[in-house]
Amino acid sequence: MRIIRRLLIWGVPAVLILGVIAGVIGWRIYEGARASNVGSLTFSNPLYVPPLLEPASDAQGRKVFDLTLEAGQTELIEGELTPTWGINGSHLSPVLRASRGDEVLINVHNGLDGESTTLHWHGMDLPALMDGGPHQLIRPGETWPATWTINQQAASLWFHPHPHGSTTDHVYRGIVGMFIIDDEDSKSLPIPRQYGVDDVPLIVQDKAFNDDGSLRKRRPPFASLGPLGDEILVNGTHDPYFEVRTTLVRFRLLNGSPARTYSFGFTDGRSFSVIASDSGLLESPVETDRVQLSPGERAEIVVSFTPGDEATLHSFGADLGQDFFTERLNGADDTFDILQIRASQQLDESSPLPEQLVSWTAPDAGEAVATRSFRLSGSSINGQRMDLTRVDEVVRAGSTEIWEVSTGGPHTFHIHLVRFLVLDVDGEPPPPLLGGWKDSVQLQPGRSYRLLVRFADYADPTSPFMFHCHILEHEDSGMMGQFILVDEEDDAPRSLPDPYGDGQED
Ligand SMILES: [Cu+2]
């Protein structure tokens, strides 16, 4: 009797628990298999390369770009029409390009029916009122003129909506574009720069689709990062290939996905050179066979080809810094073919990459006038969720600070306006790929990152900049804070107006 009772007391719950564990693992294996493009692509569609938008010029000599946000339908998957959003078209945006010293005027017209949004220039050094964060709301039918002088080194920046609480949705529907900044270095160095030929943007995004072709936010059970698509689009192209005609080709990789981290490399194991990170060229090319990008991060890579060559750009399993099981729940083990690259039988010989690209004198960490600590966990930063009316940090305009960032889970820390250097990770010098200027950094749980942050001289005590997690649903759920730049601490306001508080938004 006693044995039977023990069996019932211990056996039944044990069987139930084992059943749940097996169910979760089975579901993940099923979902994981669905999320693996390996072998399933035939590379049958030519890669779409978004056109460069030619600027007009106004009486003040500004480069004028007119952008219209609009809804439409796009054939993202063969034979299916997907309702999407785009800029000057139904999906994604033309590429914007300007040089250091240019004054730009960008008229952003909101042609979306009944939807307010914003357009944020990610990585741009500019006044807070022009930043396009959640405070610069553009209501349907309105046009927002953003104007500033380009004042930073050559880089691959990007732009996307940033409305309070609905960034994931607006980005996922397709409002994403690349903004290329040139400077004297990028124009004179012997690096590939013929747009669309040997200098090619690759906006990588994962999507999932319903049977009727509409976009679906696919959520594997227990994934904590947000939607993880099972189809990869590159510049909106599914199953893409690209033909190259030169021995060296530069790809500007942007992870424009809501939650997924990619570890890019080639299936034949070939190495390549990373020449730039988020905020511009590295001092020297870094030779590697993998570059990992979390949402919002960019890297420019230069890949070498021989005549008739074929190479497959692939995403291998990513390292989120979590334990084995949690990584799998978050899709870190998913692998994808990204793009097939086909080299012509005759290739134009490119100049070899220079050993040095740019040189800079890193600011001395001793110049930092303040050290601030940020802990990302739950849906908050330092225990506080985003409040549009609260000023979280007051920073002296033109100063340099050290921001110490740590996290309970995998997050990506992005600071508007600035570029920063990673001083150290857990007290150790950063790996070479984190050695350049950045605006976003992937954080691994339990580690501490010290960032040396330079703040531009745009004092405006009434307009905040954001700092936040760039995993979009984390941002939407409140993992974001605000800082203002001031000349004098006394200028700091206690609260800010809430642009969503007039009843037009819900
Ligand atoms: Cu996050």
Q: Do 320 and 295 lie in a common domain?
A: yes
Nearest to 58 by CA among 179, 180, 157, 145: 145
Q: Is 451 exposed, middle or buried (0-12, 13-18, 19+ CB in 10 A)?
A: buried
Q: Give the separation between CA 479 and CA 258, rounded to whole angstroms.
A: 14
Q: Do 289 and 167 lie in a common domain?
A: no
> What is the distance in A from the centroid of ligand 1 to the CA of 375?
11
Position 353 in a domain:
no
Ion ligand 1 — residues with CB < 5 Å: 411, 469, 471, 474
> What is the distance in A from the centroid of ligand 1 to the CA of 2?
51
- Average confidence (pLDDT) over 415-427: 97
pLDDT in tens, 301-311: 999 999 999 99
Question: Where is the domain boundary, 152, 168, 188?
Answer: 188
Distances (CA, A) of 503 to 115, 148, 162, 227, 500: 14, 31, 19, 29, 7
Question: Where is the domain boundary, 348, 383, 400?
Answer: 348
> What is the distance in A from the centroid of ligand 1 to the CA of 475?
7
Half-sphere exposure in the Cβ direction for 279 (13 Å, CA): 24
> What is the distance in A from the centroid of ligand 1 to the CA of 184?
36
Q: Give the separation between CA 263 and CA 288, rounded to whole angstroms.
A: 12
Contact call for residues 311 and 268 (beta carbons, < 8 A) = yes
Q: Which residues are within 8 A (CB) of 239 and not within 5 positions of it... i.e. 6 or more apart?
A: 41, 42, 43, 44, 45, 78
Query: Tokens in use for 104?
Result: 């730009």
Position 217 in a domain:
yes
Q: Give the separation between CA 311 and CA 313, rounded to whole angstroms.
A: 6
Least confident of 35-49, 259-273, 370-384: 35-49
Contact call for residues 465 and 488 (beta carbons, < 8 A) = no
Give the confidence band of 465 by pLDDT, cuts at 50, 70, 90.
Answer: very high
DSSP-based three-state secondary structure for 491:
helix
Contact call for residues 20 and 12 (beta carbons, < 8 A) = no
> What is the distance in A from the centroid of ligand 1 to the CA of 472?
7
Position 20 in a domain:
no
What is residue 37's predicted lDDT score, i.e. its pLDDT? Answer: 61
Q: Give the separation between CA 63 and CA 54, rounded to whole angstroms.
A: 9
Position 392 in a domain:
yes
Q: Give the separation between CA 138 and CA 259, rounded to whole angstroms.
A: 25
> What is the distance in A from the centroid of ligand 1 to the CA of 442?
9
Split into its structural domains, the chain has a count of 3
> What is the distance in A from the centroid of ligand 1 to the CA of 247?
39
Distances (CA, A) of 462 to 388, 414, 459: 12, 21, 9
Q: Do 276 and 216 lie in a common domain?
A: yes
pLDDT in tens, 101-156: 999 999 999 999 999 999 999 999 999 999 999 999 999 999 999 999 999 999 99
Q: Do 108 and 248 lie in a common domain?
A: no
pLDDT in tens, 273-295: 999 999 999 999 999 999 999 99
Distance from chain centroid for Cα 159: 9
Q: Do 470 and 380 lie in a common domain?
A: yes
> What is the distance in A from the centroid of ligand 1 to the CA of 136?
23
> What is the distance in A from the centroid of ligand 1 to the CA of 32?
22
Q: Do 337 and 249 lie in a common domain?
A: yes
Give the confidence band of 363 by pLDDT, cuts at 50, 70, 90.
Answer: confident
Q: Give the separation between CA 226 and CA 505, rounded to whole angstroms.
A: 24
Put residue 39 in one of left, alpha, beta given phi > 0 → left and psi -120 to 50 → alpha: left
Q: Do 140 and 169 lie in a common domain?
A: yes
> What is the distance in A from the centroid of ligand 1 to the CA of 293?
14
> What is the distance in A from the centroid of ligand 1 to the CA of 453?
20
Q: Which residues are within 8 A (CB) of 194 and not within 5 positions of it... i.e. 6 or more apart?
A: 246
Contact call for residues 402 and 450 (beta carbons, < 8 A) = yes
Position 277 in a domain:
yes
> What is the distance in A from the centroid of ligand 1 to the CA of 349?
43
Q: Do 286 and 369 lie in a common domain?
A: no
pLDDT for 19 beyond 70: yes
> What is the distance in A from the centroid of ligand 1 to the CA of 18?
31
According to DSSP H, which parts of 35-74 are helical? none
DSSP-based three-state secondary structure for 168:
helix
Position 16 in a domain:
no
> What is the distance in A from the centroid of ligand 1 to the CA of 405?
12
> What is the distance in A from the centroid of ligand 1 to the CA of 226?
9
Question: Where is the domain boundary, 188, 218, 245?
Answer: 188
Q: Do 413 and 473 lie in a common domain?
A: yes
**What is the domain extent for residue 294?**
199-348
> What is the distance in A from the centroid of ligand 1 to the CA of 297?
13
Q: Give the separation between CA 323 and CA 327, rounded to whole angstroms.
A: 6
> What is the distance in A from the centroid of ligand 1 to the CA of 412?
6
What is residue 503's predicted lDDT score, i.e. its pLDDT? Answer: 46
Model-level pTM? Answer: 0.93
CATH number at residue 254: 2.60.40.420
Give the confidence band of 430 by pLDDT, cuts at 50, 70, 90.
Answer: very high
Q: Give the separation between CA 285 and CA 331, rounded to whole angstroms.
A: 30
Instruction: Tell me the backbone φ, ψ of residue 433, rounded to 5 degrees.
Output: -70, -15
- Cα–Cα–Cα angle for 458, 462, 467, nearest 5°? 70
DSSP-based three-state secondary structure for 62:
coil
Q: Do 326 and 369 lie in a common domain?
A: no
Position 22 in a domain:
no
Q: Do 254 and 320 lie in a common domain?
A: yes
Position 391 in a domain:
yes
> What is the distance in A from the centroid of ligand 1 to the CA of 296?
12
Q: Do 51 and 177 lie in a common domain?
A: yes
Q: Give the separation between CA 168 and CA 217, rounded to whole angstroms.
A: 10
Query: Tokens in use for 436?
Result: 């350049």
